[in-house]
Structure 1
Amino acid sequence: MCGPNQLTVHIAVDGAVAGWVDAGTGRRHGKNLGPVGRALSAVGFPTTGADEPSGEAAALTPDERVALALREATGIQLEDDYFEGTWLGSVSTTAA
């Protein structure tokens, strides 16, 4: 999710949002993230209450942290050429 002064990756477990990563600070929020939480920890996204990211997450920009979190959550490696060409997305007006 990208909004004014906010760039986050929301993580759902069993269909419900269980937590999120603040890409600006690299901090992770939420409990019971299961395997995704362990994968995020392994690349340096700190658990709730920790101050700074470490490892791979510490050396990245916020945009790069989004890609890293998505890779760890989904197992899909995003490549630069995926983002070439015309943007086909739009703003969702669906309320949560």
Structure 2
Amino acid sequence: MPGNVRPAKLLLWVVIAVAVLATWAPYFGAFEQLTWVGPVPFGLAWVLSWNAVLTGCAIAMYFVHFRPLHERLLADPLAEPEVEVR
């Protein structure tokens, strides 16, 4: 695992925030015209594609946040976390 994971975590949270805001766009009237993308309207295609991004972020969240926590708890559940002072 790389020593400095903070930029990756920040990028993951930025992508999550953008995707959540993008899924709300149809509620604010962003797609008033009925245009079709294949068999579905553009608004639905927009929301479904951003939901796919959010699903990928949820899977990445496991590897970035919860898996290291689980490994630390298995190693020594009562140990104080090592805090790096800068």
Decide which structure has the larger Cα Rg and report it.
Answer: 2
* Shorter-chain TM-score above 0.5: no
Which protein has greater RCO, CA pairs closer than 8 Å, 6+ apart? 2
Task: Report which of the two has the higher share of helix.
Answer: 2
Q: State TM-score, norm by structure 2.
A: 0.28
